[in-house]
Structure 1
Amino acid sequence: MEVIGLREPTEGTWARLRALQYADLQKFSRTRLAAHGIAGTMAAALYFGTLPPWLLALWLISIVAAVANVSRIDRQFADVDKRHMTQQEFRRQAFAVSLCALPWIASLLGATTFGTSSQHFGLWALAAMLIAGSAATTTYPPISVLVFDLIVGVSGAASFLISGDYPFAVASLAFVLTIVAASLNSARIFLSARIAEAGVAEKDEVVSLLLREFEEKESDWLWQVDKKRCLRSVSPRFAFALGKEPKEVEGELFVRLIGGSTFETGEVPRSLHDLADRLKRRESFSNLLVQVQIGEQRRWWELSGTPMLDQSGNYIGFRGVGSDVSEQRERDEKIAYLARYDTLTGLPNRLMLTEALAEAMRFSEQWRTRCAFLMIDLDRFKAVNDSLGHLIGDRLLAKVSERLNAVCTDNEKCGRLGGDEFAVVIRDASDQLSVSRIAETIIEELSKPYVVDNHTLFIGASVGSAIGPRDGQTVETLMRNADLALYRAKDDGGGAHCNYVPSLHATAEERRRLEYSLRQAIEKNELTLNYQPVVNAHTEKVVSFEALLRWSSEEHGFISPAKFIPLAEDTRLIVPIGKWVLYQACREAMRWDDDIKVAVNVSGEQLLEPNFTATVVQALAETGLAANRLEVEVTESVFLRDGKTANETLEEILALGCSVALDDFGTGYSSLGYLRDLRFSTIKVDRSFVQGASEDSPESLAIVRAVVAMAQSLEMSTTAEGVETAEQAALVRDLGCTKIQGYYFGRPMSAVEAHSLVVKRSQAAA
């Protein structure tokens, strides 16, 4: 049914192919008209004298009219191969063919009632010739054959049945069915051929498109060599890629030509050797990356090739395609460089250093030697960034990398880990003294002054080292242990080299566990405040209490403030802890007399918080403590990180009415500058000077006198810390200190004890 055209295929559409079936119909219109005219005339002659002439004439006219109508419709299909055929056109043509069959049906069926048997057989012979001729001329559109041949053939067979000639009826029907079957088979073959032609045409179009695209790419070309590997049939584009004319390179040895000057020096690239081997082995290859030399330029080509064989199967050469991928190769190399080298300093980055350390560890394991990993951190580099900006800092890092690279030999590889951290991998560190020598040389070289944009800069370096495989069996372990050693070197003040020892790992693990516990200390109510009294130097009455933080851990027991306070500052836990201390101290102070202050120590991390002043205001408001009863104690270290922000925050606190005390005075770097920039309420003389003065140290006595004199001139009070005996109390009183703090007047005590002391003081005064 699909071949005939009475049903569309389940997949796709044959409208285009159906149109091709009808494209040639109009070519046979005259032949059909002539055939029907001749057959009709012979039939009329056959019955002339038997039937009336007017009836025969009318019959002939109907035949001519029907055939002319079909020819008219067929001519409409002259351009059908350029368009799609519609169902309406299909039905109209089939109906027109059926009209051509009506005169012959009438004559065949009428022959059973008029004329002789010989006339009947003669009429059938003429109809059979038309059936055969129709099948021969209109095979491609099988619906035309089916309509005419089946109608006329079945009518003929029926006429023989009516006349009682049964054998001829069967023979006629068999003849017609054979003609129809042959027509259907021819139509199926025709459609299959046309479908195949359409597929080939589509493939040809795709191949042409691909070839056009290939030719439009200026970097792609075809190449061909003979069995001696000499170039043949050189295309203009391939010659252009070689920088020559086609006739100049025709017959030249392919590998020698693209090898250029490398053949003369003998330094032929490995990729060119690979190409030559494949050509020699007559082995197909695809996307082979080859380094070539075109003139003075190094280029990268991507070649594909396959061997050629003649009709007898003999090898006659190679043919393939190629393209210039130099730009892509350069991009890939740049990406690879960026992935493995630091863009600022040009040194290997962390990835490449890790690979180098892994290779060094494999080498040491293979040859039973040792390797080493040095981690380097610059001292005081952050101060350069903060004061002069990151641009100067980056230029300083570039100069540091130059010095570090100059120190290293072939046995060492240096790189930048990130920020101001560098590292050195020592491949062979069998001599342990050499590791120390390299570390000391690095510290010495990096500590020399730098001149950057007319700025003379002084920084230092700290180094931590770990020896493999003694200090670590893996890259990660060795790097971690070197980092622990570096951390120890920084803790010791910097500018030094520290080797890894197992105790460092234990210390780090203890620090980790301690940090974890400290994060939960507030929630578990493990933090408490002790209060140490500060008395008037002359009346010895309590004027304030200093709030001192204590931590008794459920897991670790009592932890010294000297141990957990620095940890809290490093991890910024000091901010929430400091807020808790502030609120707790203000609440407790509300239980004391109105003339007794509470002093709270504040870290530099707290002062850098944007909302620290708001926290103080909120604590005073929620607890109801008067602002003049709160004293904020800071050390000189708070000004080292961001002095401007610290000053602004302390000025805001002073504006609230709170007082500010400078603790541990004289132990920092530039105390006089701080006193000039900010008007402190109190200067606290460090206990070391008090003890020195009690031991008649001239230097300590002079410092205490100078501090007291300066404080008096600046209208500031002074507090002597660490007073433990009556003699020391008398001494600092005589030296002019206005307040005294120390064990002699009271050790740090609980909140209950501090309240009791205040009550006793009130009762004594009453």
Structure 2
Amino acid sequence: MGKHSGISGLIWGSALPILGTFGAMPQWLGIWSVCLAMMVYASLMNPSLPIVATAFIGATSLGGVVGWVMHSEYYLALATVALGTLMIFGVLRSAKAQILYEFASNVLQEKSETVSLLLREFEDSGADWLWQTDTGRCISHASPRFAFALEAEAKVVEGQPLLKLIAGDSWETGRYPDELHHLADKLKRREAFSNLIVPVTINGKRRWWELSASPRQADDGSFLGFRGVGSDVTEQRESAEKISHLARFDTLTSLPNRLQLTEALGQALSDADRWRRRCGFMMIDLDRFKAVNDTLGHPVGDRLLAQVAKRLKMIMSENELCGRLGGDEFAVVLKDASDANYVAQVSKRIIDTISKPYEVDQNTLYIGASIGSAVGPMDGRTVELLMRSADLALYRSKEEGGNTHHSYQHKLHANAEERRVLEFELRNALESNQFHLEYQPVVEANGDHGVVGFEALLRWNNPKFGNVSPAKFIPVAEDARLIVPIGNWVLRQACTDAMNWPSSIKVAVNVSVDQLTSPSFVETVVQALHDTGLPAWRLELEVTESIFVRDGGLAVQILDRLRKLGIKLSLDDFGTGYSSLGYLSNIRFDTIKVDRSFVTGASKGKAECIAIIRAVVAMADALDIATTAEGVENEAELAMIQQFGCDKIQGYYFGRPMVINDACALFSDIQRSSVA
């Protein structure tokens, strides 16, 4: 077609100079006007055929130039060249624009077809679904999956208000959840939203949807409604809520856990600071709970904890939040503790409630509660400090035997710091040879009061603190898990020192609960006897009744093994703890030691102390067990003990604790006296 157009242009172009030669100027101008019009027509009507238009315009312009030259109109010839060039340039630009427009239209059409195909595929197979509203926020298009999610048909859904479809019964009352109010505001303000979680009520069932949408606009910018996508996230929501519940609640008791208690205490401190009031924090530790776990097993212990939690929850008011910190430790956050007596009243209520008997698996159980409390911001301006203060107060309650409440006092921090330093020094004491043993003689109650043995007593001389009382450092050693290595050193050293005494003299060594129940204790005793050469019958191990409360079954097994090795066993402080004749029937003790408090009380004429000593001696005689009276300090107490029938005596009247050299010298003095 371009070739024909070019030929046509050449014909017109060649005709122009010929006509110009034979015609006058007026005729030539007429002919040129017609050709010029045809050139303009070709440039305007053939933009999609640039080659055709260019050939025609070029050929015609060339003929015109020749014609003007033949008429000696050189300026018009130049003008014709310029005009033809401009027309050709315009044709080419128009052609380029046309090509770009058609290309863009084709791409847009292809994208539109692709989007339509994807939408159809999305609606048919996707987990999400599409929805669309009109200007009145009513559904104008409902995909089959959207209708299925509403448990209705698409034709029923269309035309219904979106909020009415998902609000359920609340549509009539107008009391929407906050999430639906948020959705309604977005729709009303015609704002796009994304990943909005809303509760949906479908046929009385609560579901959770995740909705995203954006407003639709016409070509003139007018609002047409919303087009969006949604999905059912009920399972994900329930899983998230379950995970959140597990993160904030204790699984065993369903009480708030440490995380939630910490957050509540932080909020209480913040409110106390804002309103110029006080808040409180209480830490609760169950007394004798470990004995339940050890004797009846952890399942029973868990059920007991659940009952304790239930009781605590029942007695809490709106001002109190109770939770479980872990193990047998609970806590209570007091949101407002401005009343000076309030904390003490709550503590008494808790102790009285927890101390009542429990029925667990046909077992009647008795436990108690030790409580430590702190008041903020007076006892701590941060959560950590307030909890630390309550913990120090709890430690004070445990030290005093439990089942009591202590509030925080500033001196407790000083005591805690002293304990920390004491523990640090205690860890270096063994390596630095700071320990030594002293021995208190045990004598026969009748006859010449001859020495029959010694009790080994641990002493600590520290460079920083000087001579530290055992009553002070032994509890620290037990808490720091140092009592086992220290006790093993005492055992070995006592066996070594006893080899310096006559072969008939025994040595008594006190054994702690942790030491006795350590896995290698029996092997440690056997190794000490073997290495020192001390006969087993010369070693007497002293235990208190507390071992039967904490680790009764295991303690009985270990003591039985020791006694079969020929080692003597002594029950110390009998009558001051959880006395039970069952201990004496399960384990064959060689000696029962009457505590010094009974001896002192009997010397003052206290009838109950006198009755206890007589009962213990009578029981021991019946079981063929020797008795030792502790704390005899004068002749009157000696006469009284002899009258009661005790077999052995230990006290200041016959000798204070002495170092090994003095104990050995005691026998040298006896030997010299016998020779004289």
Larger mean CA deviation between 288-297 and 599-608 belongs to 288-297
Measure the CA separation in 2 of the matches of 1:234 and 1:410: 48
Q: 1:544-569, CA deviations, whole angstroms, 9 ceiling, x for partnerless residues?
A: 11110011112222111111122222
Amino acid at match of 1:390: H
1:719 corresponds to 2:628: yes
- Which residue identity is paired with 2:619? M
Alignment counterpart, residue 556 of structure 1, candidates 440, 465, 471: 465
Q: Does 2:335 match 1:427?
A: yes
Q: 1:580 aligns with which of 465, 485, 489?
A: 489
CA distance in 2, matches of 1:607, 1:685: 22
| Equivalences for residues 280-359 of structure 1 within 5 A | 280-359=188-267
Instruction: Sort the Cα spacing of 1:611 and 1:206 in 2 relative to 1 into closer, same or farther, 3 A.
Output: farther
Is the alpha carbon distance of 1:206 and 1:414 closer, same or farther for their aligned partners in structure 2, counting shifts above 3 Å?
A: farther
> Is the 1:484–1:508 Cα contact (8 Å) retained in structure 2?
yes
Q: Describe how 1:101-500 pairs up with structure 2 within 5 A.
A: 214-215=122-123, 219-500=127-408
- Aligned-residue RMSD, C-alpha: 2.7
Q: Is 1:516 the counterpart of 2:434 in the alignment?
A: no
Instruction: Write the letter of the residue equivalent to 1:580.
Output: W
Equivalent pair of 1:381/1:420 in contact (CA under 8 Å): yes
8 A Cα contact 1:599 1:631, kept in partner: yes
Report SS of the residue matched to 2:370: strand
CA distance in 2, matches of 1:543, 1:340: 63
Counterpart for residue 600 of structure 1: 509
Q: Tell me the CA shift for residue 211 of structure 1.
A: 5.5
Whole-Å separation in 1 of the counterparts to 2:646 and 2:618: 10
For 1:434-480, what per-residue CA distance to the aligned partner results, in whole angstroms no more than 9, with x for missing partners?
22222212222222233334433332222221111111100111111
Q: Is the 8 A contact 1:665 1:671 kept in 2?
A: no
Give the residue type in structure 2 aligned to 1:523. E
Q: Which residue is equivalent to 2:14? A: none
3-state SS of the aligned residue for 1:546?
Answer: strand
What's the offset of the Cα at 1:206?
9.4
1:7-59 Cα shifts (integer Å, max 9, x gaps): xxxxxxxxxxxxxxxxxxxxxxxxxxxxxxxxxxxxxxxxxxxxxxxxxxxxx
Whether 1:590 and 2:495 are equivalent positions in the alignment is: no
**Residue 737 and residue 308 in structure 1: after superposition, are their counterparts in 2 closer, same or farther (change >3 A)?**
same
Which secondary structure state, in structure 2, belongs to the residue aligned with residue 702 of structure 1?
helix
For structure 1, which segment, 582-591 or 485-494, has the greater mean C-alpha deviation from structure 2 after superposition?
Answer: 485-494
* 3-state SS, counterpart of residue 477 of structure 1: helix
Pairing partner for 1:742 from 641, 646, 651: 651
Q: Does 1:636 find its partner at 2:545?
A: yes
Matched residue type, 2:472: K
Which residue pairs with 2:41 in the alignment?
none
Instruction: Tell whether 2:427 aligns with 1:532.
Output: no
* Unmatched runs of 5 consecutive residues or more in structure 1: 1-195
Shift of 1:686: 1.7
Q: Which has the higher contact order (CA 8 A, sep 6+)?
A: 2
CA distance in 1 between partners of 2:368 and 2:561 (Å): 36
How many residues are matched? 573
Q: Which amino acid aligns with 1:432?
A: A
CA distance in 2, matches of 1:266, 1:216: 35
TM-score (normalizing by structure 2): 0.80
User: Residues 423 and 699 (structure 1 numbering): CA distance in 2 closer, same or farther, change over 3 Å?
Assistant: closer
Match of 2:637 among 728, 731, 737: 728
Q: Is the 8 A contact 1:686 1:722 kept in 2?
A: yes
Secondary structure of the residue aligned to 1:616 is helix
Greater Rg, structure 1 or structure 2? 1
* Percentage of matched positions with identical amino acids: 61
> What secondary structure sits across from 2:139 in the alignment?
coil
CA contact (8 A) 1:720 1:739 kept: yes
Shift of 1:207: 7.0
3-state SS of paired residue (2:502): coil
Counterpart residue type for residue 291 of structure 2: A
Q: For the residues of structure 2 that align with 1:613 and 1:406, how far apart are their CA atoms?
A: 48
Matched, 1:645 2:554: yes
Q: What is the CA deviation profile of residues 203-258 of structure 1, one whole-angstrom value per residue up to 9, with x for unaligned ones? A: 99997996587446564101111122211122211111112111112112212322
Q: Equivalent residue for 1:543?
A: 452
- Residue aligned with 1:748, SS: coil
Alpha-carbon deviation of 1:353? Answer: 1.0
- SS of the equivalent of 1:283 reads coil
> C-alpha separation between the residues in 2 aligned to 1:200 and 1:388?
79
Q: Partner letter of residue 338 of structure 2?
A: S
1:621 and 2:521 are equivalent in the alignment: no
CA distance in 1, matches of 2:145, 2:260: 41
Per-residue deviation, residues 405-445 of structure 1 (Å, max 9, x unmatched): 22122222221212222222111221121222222122222
CA deviation after TM superposition for structure 1 residue 202, in Å = 12
SS at match of 2:406: strand
CA contact (8 A) 2:295 2:552 kept: no
Shift of 1:201: 13
Q: Cα distance 1:601–1:457, how it changes in 2: closer, same or farther (>3 A)? A: closer
Q: 1:662 aligns with which of 557, 564, 571?
A: 571
Q: Identify unmatched segments of 5+ residues in structure 2.
A: 1-103
CA distance in 2 between partners of 1:670 and 1:746 (Å): 29
